[in-house]
């Protein structure tokens, strides 16, 4: 397969594993890269910038293919040392950075000056245009279906992707709700030159997640996600479980809820433990609506080759239907 994305990133198939807190380790990233996609290590899953460097070095022992690093920049009272994480990426020789979050203009300039290729992920056309003006090389655009933070405007991929493809000069990567070759074919037909997946890669052999959580995602339907933090205008799409149901109920309570009250429920450490222990009702687990399409736990190699074959088949079927 050949698109501006495969050429830019030096990968065989235009399939990217998006940054994933607690999941984007060297093992995950290397498995995707070895299967012909682009694996991404999630910087902030590593407790310190030095640990990130070790994880990058570990990834190099697992694959000789290109891989990237994700840096999500969020405003917070006690922010992690973002700049030090970025310096590790630059100095380690990693050539691909995925950014997301609040206005990462300064980070983009610094990484660009160092010759790093930047994919910026966002959820709105105006943010994609501004990232393009700031010099990023490609934009990943997440539709409302996605796992994680879809924003507050609820625009699905079927609308976002073609608008982005029309308005941007740089290549667009479709993200959110893609879990099979049909979705991939649709994304390419909408004008994207690559796809980004999170949830689907969580349900693979190599994902560093307990088998019980993977099985719970396989058993789930497209109706089994919840939107938390809506009332705080910081919406996150997560797996429906005891904790997310409780958070939604508290938010819907007359008078609402203060973040302090739900903080213990939504603590990141709790989500991490749920993923590792398999006790999937014990913490917040990020997942997208495409769980309804996920029916097995393949290796990344099997998943990617199956998706590529199905994508080709769907595109040729559609093309045959469209002939005069």
Ligand X SMILES: Cc1cc2nc3c(=O)[nH]c(=O)nc-3n(C[C@H](O)[C@H](O)[C@H](O)COP(=O)(O)O)c2cc1C
Binding site for ligand X (CB under 6 A): 18-21, 23, 42, 72, 100, 121, 142, 145-148, 175-178, 196-200, 202, 286-288, 290
Specify the DSSP class assigned to residue 291. G
> What three-state secondary structure class fits 228?
strand
Contact 177, 146 (CB under 8 A): yes
**Bridge partners of 38?**
16
CB of 321 to ligand X, least distance (A): 27
Q: Which two tokens stand for residue 92?
A: 């380690």
Instruction: Compute the Cα dihedral for 173, 178, 184, 189 and give only its sign.
Output: negative
CB of 280 to ligand X, least distance (A): 12
How far, CA to CA in Å, does 296 sit from each of 25, 94, 119, 142, 220? 21, 32, 29, 24, 11
> What three-state secondary structure class fits 277?
helix
Q: Which helix (H) or strand (E) segment is 73 a member of?
A: strand 67-73
* 172 phi and psi angles, rounded to 5 deg: -110, 135
Closer to ligand X at the Cβ: 61 or 102? Answer: 102
CB of 255 to ligand X, least distance (A): 31
Closer to ligand X at the Cβ: 84 or 113? Answer: 84
CB of 91 to ligand X, least distance (A): 22
Q: Distance between CA atoms of 89 and 83, rounded to whole angstroms? A: 10
CB of 62 to ligand X, least distance (A): 20
Q: Distance between CA atoms of 62 and 68, rounded to whole angstroms? A: 14
CB of 100 to ligand X, least distance (A): 4
Closer to ligand X at the Cβ: 27 or 257? Answer: 27
Contact 19, 55 (CB under 8 A): no
CB of 86 to ligand X, least distance (A): 15
Closer to ligand X at the Cβ: 225 or 314? Answer: 225
Q: Distance between CA atoms of 147 and 299, rounded to whole angstroms? A: 21
Closer to ligand X at the Cβ: 132 or 180? Answer: 180
In this chain, which residue has its C-beta nearest to ligand X? 198
- Alpha carbons within 13 angstroms on the beta-carbon side of residue 63 total 26
Closer to ligand X at the Cβ: 56 or 213? Answer: 213
CB of 147 to ligand X, least distance (A): 3
Contact 201, 207 (CB under 8 A): yes
Closer to ligand X at the Cβ: 227 or 257? Answer: 227
CB of 6 to ligand X, least distance (A): 19
Closer to ligand X at the Cβ: 94 or 290? Answer: 290
Closer to ligand X at the Cβ: 178 or 248? Answer: 178
Q: Distance between CA atoms of 187 and 162, rounded to whole angstroms? A: 9
Nearest to 199 by CA among 124, 247, 151, 148: 148
């Amino acid at each position: 397969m050949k698109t501006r994305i495969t050429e830019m990133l030096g990968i065989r198939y235009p399939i990217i594993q998006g940054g994933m807190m607690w999941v984007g380790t060297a093992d995950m990233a290397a498995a995707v890269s070895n299967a012909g996609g682009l694996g991404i290590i999630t910087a902030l899953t590593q407790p310190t910038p030095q640990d990130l460097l070790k994880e990058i070095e570990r990834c190099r022992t697992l694959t000789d293919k290109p891989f990237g690093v994700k840096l999500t920049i969020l405003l917070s009272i006690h922010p992690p040392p973002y700049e030090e994480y970025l310096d590790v990426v630059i100095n380690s020789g990693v050539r691909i950075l995925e950014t997301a979050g609040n206005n990462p203009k300064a980070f983009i300039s610094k990484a660009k000056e160092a010759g790093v290729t930047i994919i910026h992920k966002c959820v709105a056309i105006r943010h994609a245009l501004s990232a393009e003006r700031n010099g990023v090389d490609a934009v990943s655009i997440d539709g409302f279906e996605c796992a994680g933070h879809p924003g507050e405007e609820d625009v699905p991929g079927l609308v976002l992707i073609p608008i982005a493809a029309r308005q941007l000069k740089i290549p667009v990567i479709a993200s959110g709700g893609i879990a099979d070759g049909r979705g991939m074919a649709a994304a390419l037909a909408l004008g994207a030159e690559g796809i980004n997946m999170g949830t689907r890669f969580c349900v693979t052999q190599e994902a560093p997640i307990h088998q019980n959580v993977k099985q719970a995602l396989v058993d789930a339907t497209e109706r089994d996600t919840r939107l938390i933090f809506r009332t705080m205008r910081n919406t996150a799409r997560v797996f429906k479980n005891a904790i997310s149901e409780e958070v939604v109920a508290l938010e819907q309570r007359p008078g609402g809820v203060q973040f302090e009250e739900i903080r213990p429920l939504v603590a990141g450490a709790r989500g991490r433990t749920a993923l590792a222990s398999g006790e999937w009702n014990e913490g917040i687990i990020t997942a997208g609506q495409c769980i309804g399409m996920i029916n097995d736990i393949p290796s990344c190699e099997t998943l990617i080759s199956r998706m590529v074959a199905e994508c080709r088949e769907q595109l040729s079927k559609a093309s045959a239907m469209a002939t005069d």
